[in-house]
Amino acid sequence: MSVRLSRAKINRLADIVIELLENLEYVDFPPEVDAPSLRVTIKKAIEKELELYQEIEEKVINKISSQKKNIEEGSREWDILFKKYYNEEISKLDKIIE
């Protein structure tokens, strides 16, 4: 379930975000904010977000692996537990952000 994006895709996403922001009437960038530095900031934010979801996924996999019963990865039971635990972790994250 892991989401991995190539550097090129992350760069493209950053470019799309910049383009969208530049086209919004109510968004003005201060003169000291240039496109290259903004692009780097957006790329770092995307990469950090992807790392966070990777950490959550690893935590969920470890939780499933620590079950007394051996649960085969890819089985229906494993998939159900993965979704359940993943949603629980996302829910915890949402509460922290609020």
Token output for 66: 């620590």
The pLDDT of residue 2: 65
Strands (E), 1-98: none
**pLDDT of the chain along its 98 residues, tens only?**
666 889 999 999 999 999 999 899 898 888 888 888 999 999 999 999 999 999 999 999 999 999 999 999 989 999 999 999 999 999 988 777 65
The pLDDT of residue 94: 76
Q: What separation in angstroms does the CA of 77 have from each of 25, 59, 80, 81, 82? A: 50, 17, 5, 6, 8
The pLDDT of residue 98: 58
Global pTM value: 0.76
Enumerate the H helices of 1-98 as residue ranges.
7-22, 35-65, 76-97
